[in-house]
Chain A
């Protein structure tokens, strides 16, 4: 597999469920991101991990919990979500700082479509 892959592509969950979104990048990048995409809103940055350390939180509710075990994998753990959390969650990666060419380009996955009932 190449690029950025996300699983599952679709997820339906109740407000009391616990689920996780998974992201894997095969590009050798050192930064990974979670974005939320809702209709008629800008792409909202949720979390940034650079060199496996979280560097940005952007005041995301604690019901979203990220995990980055290594530079290739990123998870978003979900618990007690609200219906307004229904959205497309996009993972992305980029090369930041030393260790490779820094172009400023984000490489996105296809996204995980989440529906909270």
Chain B
């Protein structure tokens, strides 16, 4: 089955700096790659996703890039703010739907003042 690896496990950046979280996947058939954010004590929520027919997607300060040849995808957060502090999970799906998602282990991002 699919295996998703995520790095780093923890990341500390100063407010205003950029943060990058990287994931690799094993199944070349995977075609849907969402990112979820989980604030402390809260539920995970989808923040951005990308499908295999595009290489990059942006939404304000966050962006996701996908390299299908290398089987890796990354989350980029620019101009980080304290409210970006959370755990971020990447995931991959071979069906393009939520029913077959495989999650990474998560990255705890801490944005310091």
Contacts and interface: CB of A to CB of B under 8 A. Distances in A.
Interface residues of A, number: 24
Given A31-B98, A42-B105, A105 B42 contact: no
Interface string B77-113: 0000000000001000100111101111110000000
A94 B102 contact: no
| Most B C-beta atoms less than 10 A away, residue of A41, A55, A104, A109 | A104
A5 B99 CA distance: 19
Contact of B99 (A43, A96, A111): A96
Q: Chain B contact residues (Cβ within 8 angstroms of A): what range?
A: 20 to 34
B32 interface: yes
Interface of B: 4, 9, 32, 34, 36, 42-46, 49, 89, 93, 96-99, 101-106
